[in-house]
Amino acid sequence: MLGPVCEQITDKEILDISLKIEREGQYFYEKLAELVPIPEIKDFLSHMAQEETRHERQFINLIAEKKGKDYGWDDNEELREAVEKLFQTDIFPDIDEWEREENPFPSVNEAIEFAIEAEMISMEFYRLLGEFCNNLEAKTVLAMLEKAEMEHLHYMKALHAKYSTP
């Protein structure tokens, strides 16, 4: 679960969910890079881990700079319903489960396919947040994150096409 579900969503809850996504993404890509034997994919996954760290810092800055700013998410019933409906599961594998499994992805194809799905979900999450955001600074950060996730997605798809086995 992404976080506790309550009647009304808050800006803090949305920012906390975003931090969780980025932290789990960083861990996922670091661990996946350790498992993948193909240097080009390994390098890209390491780059992705760094990207997730950068995204996390952007959210930490949004939280630090909030200081009474309204991002437009507080008490937004439509956003609450969308988060509950579309993002109520973890995007990345549970860290504890990952640690217990010897190799959660038996093939490079499966690993890349999972990463593609994770990037698509992350991109959609940031698009949704931007749609409901009424703070220009936060909306700009969200648009940049959505664009970055889209670029990651395209590169992942290219790697999948290049290295997929029939």
Which residue range forms the structural domain that includes residue 122? Answer: 11-164
Which residue, chain included where needed, has tokens 């909030």? 66
Q: Does 70 reside within a domain?
A: yes
Does residue 147 surpass a pLDDT of 90? yes
Q: How confident is the model at residue 114 (pLDDT cuts 50, 70, 90)?
A: confident
- Which range among 1-10, 50-59, 91-100 shows the weakest confidence by mean pLDDT? 1-10
CA distances to 23, 25, 75, 99, 119 from 90, rounded to whole Å, are 12, 10, 23, 16, 12
* pLDDT tens digits along 25-67: 898 889 888 888 889 989 999 999 999 999 888 888 877 776 7
Q: Does 157 reside within a domain?
A: yes
Q: Does 2 reside within a domain?
A: no
| Residue predicted with more confidence, 103 or 45 | 45
How many domains is the chain partitioned into structurally?
1
Residue 94 belongs to a domain with what CATH number?
1.20.1260.10
Query: What pTM value is reported for the model?
Result: 0.79
Distinct helix (H) and strand (E) counts, the chain: 6, 0
